[in-house]
Structure 1
């Protein structure tokens, strides 16, 4: 099966040479991409179907149709490798790390060999991790819980359902309408796990993964088959009795029902597992900030606030609701508003405005007016052009206010001491303030 790889915002040319994509594969993959929820009105939100090449946009993940797949990796500035495969392996590691933080599950990246990171796609790596975790957890037993049952039996079990007994068995007293609880493995959680196993078996093209998934499907043979749209996610309760399943439940959401991805299926249509990097970066940074500020007396809210810019004159209804990515409060008062942007900014030497969008600045000024926070930050991914390490690059005072608006960057390619680096970024000793003339 031909497996192609391209990085976010880069092109893969048509052709039969190494590093190129066959035209008939490009056509089918581009057609699949247009059916994604991320495709947008013009249908090019995932892939631009050009005359000479496919160009990836700000969505990453896997597209698979027929006998071909296309892996889109994020544009993360990792250390230069010996070959593009080495660099892609490092990017896959960083992306899996971001997913693990954003979805709150733990992954031991060291159990996967460097060769596997180079040769396997993101999807196959995630499937492998899921299979390993599920197999290990199942060794301790499949979770069970009591479920209510109603059956007509020759002897009484549990309680007699009086209404049903005298409605359906009034002339047949040999059958008793019983209502009882039965300890069963056919639970919403196990149905979700089975649905994930079945779904991944259809997606995987790696023989080792298919073998593992086939074995897991056999373990779940007695669990009811439930279509993905009909799964009861709301009925799953993770508590002390099944806490070992929390991460597997999060991974099942990743594959079946996560807000970062869209999955397209159907005969002849192909499948896609895609992640919008803006949303993933926002959640990743938000969770890291919450961890970094734990115990400092500050609280962190993601997508909180929700104040309105305008109030309708003829009613109390608000208009143009705001949703700052990250709000930091101290003593119940908003002290810091952070908006994440998955964009590359330039250094101040190259551009005093650093390529920051005017619309983004207007958005932050609205937050300053509504939330009265003394500090606002536009946070971007770091890259070598900004210097050797992440930092606050510029601070400006909003005209007529005491509020400071910063531009800052964080290096997602480097997870070493990342919580300490975030603390320094947010609780630095000094901030250079420049008044805007």
Structure 2
């Protein structure tokens, strides 16, 4: 029997009875528990940590978010641990969807107020709903057909006669013609992928509206075969102008077919599983926000890898890759995002900052120094009740300084950006005024 379980990052999963509604501890079945243990072992072999075993019947989830489906039918939804009160589950789902849209550059289509009211649906149903909405629009605009070359034997002439094959006809079969002709069919790579994704959605969805729309679309695409070679068909996805209306649905199709998953679930079982490292989602969201808000004179580069920590025998060792690098003709900024909670109320405990993060930024500052001056270093953490404004300046000496700034994910604001002179476009705007008042 299928079950739906919703928890947050770092939640504990156990087979023992747990009070309902607790996002930090939930009960799962014995079969789901054993499968998660095997899945965790496969992650550990690849160098990633999915969860930790605490005792014999307790698992502690790590910093991955999304949805994971087990072979026994348990669907586990993991939300960001960000909101502290007032409808944490609803707000966390909204936040997760916003982060995923930015990370995968998805453009959801909300067509009415009614669809907004369904925003509280679980992540997997939301993904399937967005895919179905895009597919419904595509079908209404028209599915692209293509000519397919057919070679067959018929008792009548059609198209071209295959002379070589006809000459090889045995005696007594000369009245059968070997012919070639083109047929205008919807059997092309893009449609095959959409049909396969549609079949998966129709089997996986537990939402009545999604199930109804999926089956309506299946009837409309009945003559389209499902893809049997997903990777090959994805490479054949056309980008010409006649296929422009197919581009909006492609990322949703890839997401459904597990071709765009940041974390691939290994093994024979492939349910509706979408796992994302929260650290990476936060980093990519901040990057996307900066690309929209920076002044035109500023150049943003992500994951720069031009510098190394040291050399040995003329060989470079330990590549240094800051998350974000901002350059203007006058100044350079080095920014790193961290999905951690920093508490401004604990100066005696160094605000819960990590010493290794400061070592990391210190190395970046020295190795990515420009000839015209010292770069400005910035650590960006999520905004919460314990970090509502920039921390006091950290001085590394020799004119090298570091700022710790909170990023407000709900209001899309980098608080204290003006203190570090980050070249944002909205100087003097409502956003800048809110930063200064903070």
TM-score interval, normalised by the smaller of the two chains: 0.7 to 0.9
Query: Residue 274 of structure 1: CA displacement?
Result: 1.1
TM-score w.r.t. the length of structure 1 is 0.78
Alpha-carbon displacement from aligned partner over 1:61-101 (angstroms, at most 9, x marks no partner): 112222422211111226x32xxxx3211111111111112
**Aligned partner (choices 19, 30, 44) of residue 40 of structure 1:** 44
Quick one: which of 331, 334, 337 aligns to 2:334?
A: 337
**CA separation in 2, counterparts of 1:63 and 1:320?**
34
Q: 2:17 aligns with which of 15, 18, 21?
A: 15
How many angstroms apart in 1 are the aligned matches of 2:408 and 2:243?
Answer: 36
Task: Select the residue among 48, 69, 80 that pairs with 1:64.
Answer: 69
Partner of 1:427: 423
C-alpha contact (below 8 Å) 2:159/2:182 kept by paired residues: no
Residue 83 (structure 2) aligns with: 77
* Aligned-pair Cα RMSD in Å: 3.7
Residue 8 of structure 1 and its aligned partner are, at CA, apart by 0.8
Q: Is the 8 A contact 1:395 1:404 kept in 2?
A: yes
Greater Cα radius of gyration, structure 1 or 2: 2
Distance 2:113 2:182 in 1: 42
CA contact (8 A) 2:406 2:414 kept: no
Aligned ranges 1:118-129 → 2 under 5 Å: 118=120, 120-129=121-130
The size of the alignment, in residue pairs, is 405
Structure 1: stretches of 5+ with no match in the other structure: 430-437
In 1, are the aligned partners of 2:109 and 2:133 still within 8 Å (CA)?
A: no
Instruction: Compute the displacement of 1:427 (Å).
Output: 2.9
What is the alpha-carbon distance in structure 1 between the residues aligned to residue 251 and residue 102 of structure 2? 11
Secondary structure of 1:353 counterpart? helix
State whether residues 12 and 19 of structure 1, in contact with CA within 8 Å, keep that contact through their aligned partners in structure 2: no
Q: 1:60 to 1:372 in 2, by over 3 A?
A: same
Residue aligning to 2:403: 406
Check 1:152–1:141 CA distance in 2 against 1; reply closer, same or farther (3 A cut).
Answer: same
Q: CA deviation at 1:12?
A: 5.0
Query: Is this contact kept in 1: 2:407–2:415, CA < 8 A?
Result: no
Higher relative contact order (CA 8 A, sep 6+): 1
3-state DSSP of counterpart to 2:68: strand
Alignment partner for residue 321 of structure 1, among 315, 319, 322? Answer: 319
Q: Structure 2 vs 1, CA of residues 323 and 273 (structure 1 numbering), >3 Å: closer, same or farther?
A: same
Structure 2: state its 5+ residue gaps: 428-438
Distance 1:423 1:184 in 2: 59
Normalising by structure 2, report the TM-score.
0.78
- 1:257 maps to 2:259: yes
Residues 383 and 407, structure 2, Cα contact 8 Å, conserved in 1: yes
Q: Does structure 2 conserve the Cα–Cα contact (< 8 Å) formed by 1:38 and 1:45?
A: no
| Aligned positions of 1:222-233 closer than 5 A | 222-227=223-228, 229-233=230-234
In structure 2, the partner of 1:353 is 350
Change (3 A) 1:396 1:203: same
Deviations 1:43-64 (A, max 9, x none): 9933334346443220011122
Could you tell me which residue of structure 2 aligns to residue 393 of structure 1?
391
**Residue of structure 1 equivalent to 2:297:** 297
CA contact (8 A) 1:63 1:271 kept: yes
Distance in 2 of aligned mates of 1:155 and 1:134: 39
Alpha carbons 1:307, 1:370 under 8 Å: kept: yes
Counterpart CA distance in 2 for 1:422 and 1:186 is 53
CA distance in structure 2 between the aligned counterparts of 1:297 and 1:93, rounded to whole angstroms: 33
1:283 corresponds to 2:284: yes
Contact 2:377 2:401 in 1 (8 A): yes
In structure 1, C-alpha distance between the alignment counterparts of 2:39 and 2:305, rounded to whole Å: 33
In the alignment, the residues of structure 1 paired with residue 204 and residue 40 of structure 2 have an alpha-carbon distance, to the nearest angstrom, of 16
Match of 2:92 in 1: 91
